Amino acid sequence: MNLQNLKEKRASKITEMRAINEKAMNAERDLDDSERKEFDVLDAETRSINEQIDRAEKLASFERMEASSEPVSEIRTRDLTEGFSVAKAVSESLEGRLTGREAEYAQERQKTGEARSGNGIIVSIPTEAILGGESRALKTTTPGAGPGSNLVATDLAAMTDRRRAALKIEQMGAVVLRNLTGNLDLPRLKESGSAGWVAEHTDSTRSDAKFSKNSMGPKTATAEYEVSRRMLVQSNTALETVLRSDLAFLLSQALDSAALKGGGTNEPTGILADSNVQSVTGGAFSSDITADLIAALETDNVTGTTGFLTNPAVMNAARKTKDNDERIIPISELFHGERVESSTQVPADIGTGTDKNALIFGEWASLYLGYWSGIDLLVNPYHSDVASKGGVLLHAFLDCDVLVRHPEGFRYAELD
């Protein structure tokens, strides 16, 4: 039943309920037992139809976002990320109170039932403000003596970042769904029926459409910091930078990596591990392989925003590719005018001998990223590793999932 039919059915139920109620009101009496029973049945049916309409509208919205090939789609109940201070939230949580924007965000999470409970102090952090974590203690001792040693000074300059792998999944155009609650089923038409020609006044040939669904459910990525007491006291500005960038990057990196090759054990199943995503014949890099990848998607009638994603080893081979006159062939020609991106996140250990590089070509809106929470930051001052020192352990948790909704939207090759 389509959305319009559901709305018409709901309107019909409401009309029947109104008629029962008006009949009693016109007679200046309450509903009798049979009327009340009929009214309650109609009320239950109407509520059920409302739930069906809500689901249908949500799925229709997802389908529109996918059809328009929007690179990133976001679902938010409220934007509370501007001006959110992670360091302030951590510091105030240790004092047993939150104020300002940080308190408002925590209250919003409690209203929607997303707040966690557990041992220690839970700080709710928006995903837009932070995504990640790393296991190393931050200290403020002599410069060079520890990971946090250069973060406290009389005059603290801007902290420089370390080298990081490029995170590409969202940039390539994956569909992002935020603030999910229950498990999410995404139905699709798997196979169409068939049409044919018949002679006059003869029966048509019957055929069946086949449907399937993909499901998303939360999986938890986590990371941890140990922070010394003096770091908490002295390094507000630097700590904010660390929490927003380094801690955030590591959870993002875990999700990005899982989207590419997650094995499905405690983590999502990524593109390269999805048994429904097919490969083409690989070998040494060549423009023939890139052409085969493009042709494979065209054969399956895949349309939308497409592009290649690979690692630096493949890009290095591509940049060295020459024609018969020993002239370098431009990258745009080798990839036939398609977008190509590179990241060390793309594995170099696939194939039977775990020594092949991955070259992925896809219609990236066929990949869905789902978030069931913001970042839950557990501030734990009670652990034996820090309790006697006055420090804290910061445990970051993110509930998320990855789904290759349309496996035919991706192909990959194993390259030498």
Residues 198-235 have pLDDT tens digits of 888 788 887 776 767 788 899 998 888 888 887 777 65
Residue 196 located in a structural domain: no
**278 and 332, same domain (yes or no):** yes
Residue 188 located in a structural domain: no
Domain boundary pick from 11, 38, 61: 61
Residue 128 to residue 221: CA distance in whole angstroms: 16
**35 and 104, same domain (yes or no):** no
User: pLDDT for 19-59, tens place per residue?
Assistant: 898 888 888 888 888 889 998 999 999 988 888 888 877 77
**53 and 156, same domain (yes or no):** no
- What lies within 8 Å, CB to CB, of 298 at 6+ separation is none
Helix axes 3-26, 33-67, angle to 10 degrees: 160
Find the mean pLDDT for residues 236-246.
Answer: 64
Residue 204 located in a structural domain: no
- What lies within 8 Å, CB to CB, of 311 at 6+ separation is 342, 343, 344, 345, 346, 347, 348, 357, 358
Domain count, the chain: 2
**108 and 232, same domain (yes or no):** yes
Domain boundary pick from 40, 61, 82: 61
With a cut of 60, say whether residue 16 has pLDDT above it: yes
pLDDT score recorded for residue 240: 64
**129 and 274, same domain (yes or no):** yes
Higher pLDDT, 91 or 81: 91
**56 and 75, same domain (yes or no):** no
User: pLDDT for 276-329, tens place per residue?
Assistant: 999 999 999 999 999 999 999 999 999 888 999 999 999 999 999 999 999 999
pTM: 0.62
With a cut of 80, say whether residue 260 has pLDDT above it: yes
Q: Could you give the 3-state DSSP secondary structure of residue 88?
A: helix
Higher pLDDT, 140 or 352: 352
Please, are residues 364 and 72 in contact by the beta-carbon 8 Å criterion?
no
**26 and 131, same domain (yes or no):** no
Domain range for 245: 71-183+212-416
Q: Tokens for 135, please give them.
A: 């296991």
Residue 194 located in a structural domain: no
CA distances 181 to 188, 221, 237, 300, 402, Å, are 21, 17, 34, 33, 15
**84 and 49, same domain (yes or no):** no
pLDDT score recorded for residue 310: 97
pLDDT above 90 coverage of the chain, percent: 31
Find the mean pLDDT for residues 170-188.
Answer: 84
Q: Tokens for 370, please give them.
A: 């789902």
* One-character DSSP codes across 207-250: ---EEEEEEE--EEEEEEEEE-HHHHHH-HHHHHHHHHHHHHHH
Residue 325 located in a structural domain: yes
Residue 191 located in a structural domain: no
Q: Which residues of 100-121 are buried (b: 16+ CB within 10 A; e: fewer)?
A: ebbeebbebbeeeebbeeeebb
**51 and 115, same domain (yes or no):** no
pLDDT score recorded for residue 153: 45
Residue 80 located in a structural domain: yes
Structure confidence at residue 243 as a pLDDT band (50, 70, 90) = low
Query: What does pLDDT average to over the chain?
Result: 79
**39 and 176, same domain (yes or no):** no
**144 and 227, same domain (yes or no):** yes
pLDDT score recorded for residue 205: 80
**281 and 348, same domain (yes or no):** yes
Residue 197 located in a structural domain: no
With a cut of 50, say whether residue 155 has pLDDT above it: no
